[in-house]
Each structure stands twice: as structure tokens, then as C-alpha cells.
Chain A
Amino acid sequence: MSAIFVLLSGLAAMALGYFVYSKFIAERIFQLDPDFRTPAHELEDGVDYVPTNKFILWGHHFTSVAGAAPIIGPAIAVIWGWGPAFAWVILGTIFFAGVHDAGAIWASVRHKARSIGAVTGDVVGPRARALFMIVIFLVLLMVNAVFAVAISGLLVNNPSAVVPAWGAIVVALIIGQMIYRFRINLLAVSIIGVVALYALIGIGPSVPVELPESVLGLPANSQWIILLFLYAAIASLLPVWVLLQPRDYINGLQLFIGLGLVYAAILLSNPSIVAPAFNTDVPAGTPSLIPLLFVTIACGAISGFHGLVSSGTTSKQISNEKDVRFVGYFGAVGEGCLALAAILVTTAGFATLGEWREIYGAFGDGGVNAFVTGGANIVAAGTGLSEAVAVTLLTVMAVLFAGTTMDTGVRLQRYIMQEWGTIYNLPILKNLPFATVLAVGACLALAFGAGGVDGTGGMLLWPLFGTTNQLLAGLTLLVMTVIIVRLGRSMWFTLIPLSFLLFMTTLALLVQLKTFYDAGNWFLFFLDILILVAAVMVLLEAVGVLRKHLRNAAATS
């Protein structure tokens, strides 16, 4: 099967979703009103509430939601063949993610741009709000642990990427100084930054860095994990303009360049997909496709994390309610494009089926390393770059995505700790260094607790992370459904995705519970139970509140 054919049909389907389905949802279900005075205008303060051009807002929204997750998820899920992953990414983007992301912005805009957690408290009730906070905490905990494990694996496997990946931090620090201290023109600085980053990638293969095999009994993977969290803790304490802001900016530019490069390379080299459409010969120990596919690919098909971005910041800047469709739905389409690229390079980036089967020897084996290897083969064939540089390029792309998410994740984790300190009146939690150490410590414990001292088993967490992320999306969809029912509009377009998600996540949790029990992995077993309890509570909450509102609606009509 030609990769170009799959690529074009995927893009065509998502375009159709945007032009037809999102139009229907925007006009009939959300009934977006261009005359509605959005919070950006009503509460304009030049700080949080700023009416923003929709293209710029889309840029912020997309770069905030796009990270390593839409790469890692599909890169693991193609073990069942490219067909199921492709179908879930495309249909998920069109019918789930687009509606969810745009709906979260819409719900927030109609509630004074408050966060979706606060809106949940208003619309559903305080219990659902508390549930929301717990699920957010679990998602952040897992995202930081999983990404640290993924980055450490990448750095160990590709020593050539160490210098450019850490060098990118230095580049960001210098850019921040150039902009704020020396007030150099931003366009010039952008060009310098991008050139410096790619120059580092160019020299990466000639200066490989490997950590010692063992320090204090810790293998290289664990050393990287500790170093990464040390970095994340320091980065989260620095003022944002010093590191986070320039790093996000360079990463955003790099996202567009990298995505463009991968798509261009596929179009230029026209590789064939060597992986089967449906893999009937999966390695032993691979769980069943249903329900695990739907939690392995979270971001790229639907992700609750997007709802946090949508309602926390994006909704405060929507200038015209009509822009919700472009910013939210098209943001999800952008994410779908990233996931589609990940599917294509991990299934068409290998010369033969045998080579592909070797990489996907066991469940969870392919992942981001398959993305790097396959992607490098395609980029090298399509652009004529040397294989070593292409490998470095793809590794740095994945590391930077995961790295910026970790930076933000640890910072958010700390905010939650400090907020708990205020709510429960525990002054020690409000202490900045203590809250940071606690946030980082919890993530470290998870990264090592999941898979022993070498930290490599941390990827076992991936499906659990996906499950929690889907639960969060389920909660947001529940809030939207309740609002829609109250307005007397058709609820099926959010209720069907909601039911599907809750059914699949609960099933996946039960399947994994048995796996962890059989493997005797008690740490993950208890984590699974914790998430299962949260899932059941979300389910009960959903049934209860919807029954109540439907009865009210029936009584009034």
C-alpha cells in the first residue's frame, strides 16, 4: 500500500470533517453566535482577557496541545496493524477530538471563560469538581513520569541527540536574553534560534555522549531520568521569560518545520507501507485490540488534556464566538495530522515486513524508537540527509516535544500542591521549594515504581496514562452534554462519544488489572484500582446528572 495514498485519504477525511461536520456542530449544536460578547471583550484587561486574532490563537492552542503523546501513542498502537490505528485517529479526530476541543472552548466562553473544572462545579456539582481535580492530578503525574522514561530511552539509544537536545535549552536561554535584555528584533532572533538548533543537530552525530553504564548501581536510563527531573524542577522555578517562553517558541517553530519535513519526505520518497493493515500475527502477550487501542492512542484521537488548555487560556482570548470552530476543531485536526505522520513513519519507514516485525517484537517495544528509526529512513530517502543526521533530527524532535510538556507539567503539578496547601491550610505545601520537591518526587516514584530501578518499565504506564486522559475527556464531554440538554438541543453528538469512551476505558482498566495481577506488579495494580474507582464515579455521576436533567426536560415539555 502506498503511504501517499493513505496520507491523502487521511487528510481528505479530516478536511471533510472540518468543512462539513464541524460546520454542522457549530451551527446546530453549539449555535455559535457572532454577536455574542465574548469574555475577551466583556472582561478585557490586557492580561488574561485579550481578544486575539484567530490564526494566532490557533497557533498558541495547537502548540500547547501538540506534544509527544500523539507520536508515542500511535507508534505503539500500530502493533495491531496500521488499519485500526489509522481508523481510530481519523474517526477520533473528526467525531471525538474536534467536538470535544471546540466544545470545551465553547462551554468555557459561555461561562465567563472559567476553567472546565470550575464549569463542572457549576453545571454538574461539587462532587464532580473534586473528581476533576483528582483526575487532573493523576494525568499530570503520569504524563511527567512517562515522558521522562521516554526521553531517557531516546537519549540512551541515540547518543548523537544528547548534545542538540540539551543544547536546545542553552539556545532558548540565549534567545530569552536577546529578546528581553538586548531587545533584538524577534524575526532575526527566530532565524538565529532555528539555525542554531539545526546546526546542533548537524554536529550531534560527531559528538555522541553516553553516560557511564552504572553510577551508584543505577543504569544509564535511571541516571537520565534523575537528571531530567532535576532539570524540570529547576526549570519550573525559573521565571517563565528566562526559559519556558523562549523554549516553547523555538519548540513551536520546530514543530511546524519537523511536521512539514516528515510530510514532504513522505511525498517525495513515496514509501510503501510494509506493516500489515491488520496484524493477525501479533507478538505473544499483546493485549486485545478492543479495548486497548482506544486508550493507547489518546492524544491524536481524543485527549482530555486539550480541554484544560481550551478552557484555561484559549477561551479567555476568543474574540468572536465563531472562531471557536477554527481554533478548537482545527487544533484537533492539527493534532490528528501529527498522529497520522506517526502512523505512516512507523509502518512505512522499514524496508521489509521482517524488519518491522523485529522492531515490534513485543507490546510496547516499538513506540517512539520506531518513530525515530522509521522516520529517519523516510526523511533520509526523501531529502537526501545522511541517516545519522536524520536519526538525530527525529530524536531531537521527540525529545523536545516531551521535554516542554514535562516543563509545563511539573510547574502545573506544583501549582496544584500549593493550591491544596491553601485549601487544607497546610503552610508547608505552599512553600515553593518544598512543593516542587514533592511534585518531582511523586513523579520520580511513579517512574521507578512502575518498572524497577532501571526505569525502563515505566512505559507500562502508557495505557494507564491514556485511560486517565480519556476519563478527563469523558468528564468534559459530560459537562458539555449537560449544557446541551439544558438548552434543549440534540445531545447525541456528545453523548455517543462519551458513552463510547467510558465503556472502553472501564473495560481497558479491567483488562489491565488482570495483567498487572498476573504479573504481580502491585504498584500498578493499585494505581489501576485507583483510576478504576475514579472511572466508576465518573460513570455514576454521568448517569445520575443526565437522568435528572432529562427528567426535568421531560417535565417542562
Chain B
Amino acid sequence: MASDERHGESDGWRQWLRRASYYAEELYFGRYRSTIARARRDEEDLFMLLVYSEMMGVPNPASYYTMELQPLLLERFHDWHRRMGMERSPLDHFRCC
């Protein structure tokens, strides 16, 4: 009985801690969520440009390596070309929509 109670107590304490952590994290990250997400997206855009540069006629010495990544990034490709202001895929042989 006593150990049950103690167990319950430590659970309550842990739950309190979890809730406090949640509030602290929201307070820390919430206000800058959009700024940081935007910075991350900018980085992503540059990365995508590097990966697909060869296909658009921009020579890329690392194309041997980036080529390998292309199938993995296919799903993100559609979002990227739309963000870049192109409604349709800019590449004839690389269609996603």
C-alpha cells in the first residue's frame, strides 16, 4: 500500500515535470518557430538547387554523388519547384506533376 502510494506520488511528480518541460519548450521555441522554419527552408532550397543543378544545365563537380540522392528527394522536388515559382516541373524528363 505504502509503496503504491509512493509510486503514485513519483508518477505525479514526473507528470508535473513533463508538463513543466512542455510549457518551457513551447515558451522557448514557439515565438521563433516561423523564423527558424523559414531559415531551414532556405537551406533546403539551396540544397535542392545543388542536387538538381546538373539537370538544369549548371555544371556541378559533385553531380556523381548528388545523382544518387535524386530518387530519395523526389517527394520534396515537387514542393521545391513550386516554391521556386514554377507551377510545373522545369525538367522535361523529370516529371512529378
Contacts and interface: CB of A to CB of B under 8 A. Distances in A.
A177 interface: no
A52 B23 CA distance: 11
B30 interface: yes
A56 B26 contact: yes
B20 A187 contact: yes
A186 B21 contact: yes
Interface stretch (A118-126, A240-248, A489-497, A544-552): A240-248
A244 B28 CA distance: 11
A185 B24 CA distance: 10
A60 B30 contact: yes
Contacts of A186: 21, 24-25, 28
Contacts of A241: 32, 36
Contact of B28 (A50, A240, A249, A317): A249
B82 to A, nearest CB: 14
B38 interface: yes
Contacts of B74: none
A47 B33 contact: yes
B93 interface: no
A384 interface: no
A240 B24 CA distance: 18
Contacts of B30: 50, 52, 56-57, 60, 317
B17 to A, nearest CB: 7
Contact of A252 (B20, B27, B36, B39): B27
B3 interface: no
B37 interface: yes
A27 interface: no
A57 B33 CA distance: 13
Interface residues of B, number: 19
B6 interface: no
Contact of A47 (B20, B28, B38): B38
Nearest to B26: A56
A46 interface: yes
Interface in A165-212: 179, 185-187, 190
A48 interface: yes
Contacts of A55: 23
A52 B27 CA distance: 11
B27 A249 contact: yes
Q: Which of A186, A239, A317 has the most CB of B within 10 A?
A: A186
A352 interface: no
Contact of A187 (B21, B31, B34, B36): B21
Main secondary structure of the interface of A (DSSP, over half): helix
Main secondary structure of the interface of B (DSSP, over half): helix
Nearest to A190: B24
- How many A residues touch the partner, as a band? 20 to 34
Contacts of B26: 52-53, 56
Nearest to A317: B30
A470 interface: no
Interface string B1-31: 0000000000000000100110111111011
Contacts of B39: 239-240
Contacts of A50: 30, 33
Nearest to B41: A47
Contacts of A244: 32
A56 B33 contact: no
A456 interface: no
Contact of A179 (B28, B33, B34, B37): B28
A50 B17 CA distance: 24
A59 interface: yes
A313 B28 CA distance: 15
Nearest to B37: A47
A245 B24 contact: no
Interface in A206-257: 239-241, 244-245, 248-249, 252
Contacts of B21: 185-187
Nearest to A64: B31
Contacts of B27: 56, 59-60, 249, 252
Interface in A139-184: 179
A50 B30 CA distance: 9
Contact of A240 (B20, B25, B35): B35
B76 to A, nearest CB: 16
Given A187-B17, A239-B39, A48 B24 contact: no
Contacts of B36: 240-241
Contacts of A64: 31
Contact of B34 (A47, A239, A252): A47
A400 B25 CA distance: 22
A60 B29 CA distance: 10
A60 B31 contact: yes
Nearest to A316: B34
Interface in A378-417: none
A207 to B, nearest CB: 30
A473 to B, nearest CB: 23
A310 to B, nearest CB: 14
17 contacts: A46-B33, A47-B33, A48-B34, A50-B33, A55-B23, A56-B26, A59-B27, A60-B27, A179-B28, A186-B24, A186-B25, A240-B35, A240-B39, A241-B32, A245-B32, A248-B31, A313-B34
Interface of B: 17, 20-21, 23-28, 30-39
Given A60-B30, A317-B30, 7 more contacts: A46-B33, A47-B37, A52-B26, A187-B24, A240-B35, A245-B32, A248-B31
